[in-house]
């Protein structure tokens, strides 16, 4: 009987501890924003470009990690308090500010209720004035390329790619067809034209989602134009 009694007491203690643990309030302050360059939204690949938040004074606690959406937006729930926001080194199709010794810099943010904070970066290139149309099961894109970083950190164009997909997620990982043009074949950065044929889609639909991606030499992540829906 003693053993059974001890088991009962232990069970009650564990249940009580579990209830106390479960009764802690969840983080409810939303920090959100977007990647920008001089007010222009930066489009990236979904779930591929990370960010981190650190809370000073909490020892060696691991950072709070998240990723940007394909339109460059982000959102995370936090407790109120002081944080440091950063983008890890060598991530994204852009340059993020550096601190001493080449380490990524941080941005201080005080969270007190839900708020918006845009994240300013400097992209290597921008895809501007993208016009994507479709007819006879051919999707065509015409766009301009702007080289933003022109100093010693400048990089060449690896290629440009027109991606199409059945859904709104469009990238190298999410597409049903793509056409790629090498950077060396681009003779003018104004009015660049590229097209791709729409393959057979099952079940049938008379539209696709499309966007242009620019691959930067020596950089893992691509920069994109906004996703558009086109009927064909």
Domains, the chain, in order of start with CATH, read 29-122 (2.60.40.1120), 124-231 (2.60.40.2060)
**Which pLDDT does position 94 carry in this prediction?**
98
Contacts of 102 (CB under 8 A, 6+ apart): 89
How far is Cα 169 from Cα 190, in angstroms, rounded to an integer?
A: 27
Contacts of 98 (CB under 8 A, 6+ apart): 104, 105
How far is Cα 152 from Cα 160, in angstroms, rounded to an integer?
A: 22
Q: With 50 as the cut, is the pLDDT of residue 55 above it? A: yes
Average pLDDT, the chain: 90
pLDDT bin (cut points 50, 70, 90) of residue 208 is very high
* Residue from 172, 213, 177, 182 nearest 197 by CA: 177
pLDDT bin (cut points 50, 70, 90) of residue 60 is low
| Mean pLDDT in residue range 160-188 | 98
| Mean pLDDT in residue range 165-190 | 98
Q: β-pairing, 177-182 with 157-165? A: antiparallel
How far is Cα 127 from Cα 160, in angstroms, rounded to an integer?
A: 10
pLDDT bin (cut points 50, 70, 90) of residue 13 is very low
Contacts of 113 (CB under 8 A, 6+ apart): 29, 80
Q: With 70 as the cut, is the pLDDT of residue 203 above it? A: yes
How far is Cα 212 from Cα 126, in angstroms, rounded to an integer?
A: 11
**Which pLDDT does position 227 carry in this prediction?**
98
- The pTM of this model reads 0.86
Q: Is the dihedral of CA 26, 77, 87, 215 positive or negative?
A: positive
How far is Cα 146 from Cα 43, in angstroms, rounded to an integer?
A: 14
**Which pLDDT does position 109 carry in this prediction?**
96
Cα within 13 Å of Cα(53), Cβ side: 24
Q: With 80 as the cut, is the pLDDT of residue 102 above it? A: no
- Coil, strand or helix: which one is 35? strand
Provide Rg for the chain, Cα atoms: 24
pLDDT bin (cut points 50, 70, 90) of residue 56 is confident
**Which pLDDT does position 5 carry in this prediction?**
40
Q: With 50 as the cut, is the pLDDT of residue 223 above it? A: yes
How far is Cα 221 from Cα 216, in angstroms, rounded to an integer?
A: 8
**Which pLDDT does position 101 carry in this prediction?**
64
pLDDT bin (cut points 50, 70, 90) of residue 19 is very low
**Which pLDDT does position 61 carry in this prediction?**
72
- Coil, strand or helix: which one is 138? strand
Q: β-pairing, 228-231 with 94-95? A: unpaired
Query: Scanning the structure block, which residue is given the tokens 């696709």?
Result: 208
């Amino acid at each position: 009987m003693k053993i059974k009694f001890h088991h009962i007491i232990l069970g009650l203690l564990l249940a009580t501890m579990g209830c106390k643990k479960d009764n802690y309030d969840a983080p409810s302050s939303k920090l959100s924003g977007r990647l920008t360059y001089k007010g222009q939204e930066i489009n990236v690949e979904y779930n591929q470009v990370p960010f981190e938040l650190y809370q000073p004074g909490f020892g060696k606690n691991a950072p709070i990690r998240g990723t940007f959406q394909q339109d460059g937006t982000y959102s995370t729930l936090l407790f109120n308090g002081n944080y440091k926001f950063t983008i890890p080194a060598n991530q994204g199709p852009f340059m993020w500010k550096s601190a001493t010794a080449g380490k990524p810099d941080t941005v201080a943010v005080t969270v007190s209720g839900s708020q918006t904070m845009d994240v300013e970066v400097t992209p290597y290139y921008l895809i501007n004035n993208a016009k994507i149309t479709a007819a006879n099961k051919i999707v065509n894109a015409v766009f301009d390329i702007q080289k933003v970083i022109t100093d010693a950190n400048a990089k060449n164009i690896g290629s440009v790619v027109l991606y199409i997909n059945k859904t709104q997620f469009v990238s190298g990982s999410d597409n049903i067809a793509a056409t790629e043009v090498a950077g060396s074949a681009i003779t003018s950065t104004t009015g660049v034209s590229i097209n791709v044929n729409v393959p057979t889609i099952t079940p049938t639909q008379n539209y696709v989602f499309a966007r242009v991606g620019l691959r930067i030499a020596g950089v893992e992540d691509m920069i994109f134009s906004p996703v558009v829906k086109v009927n064909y």
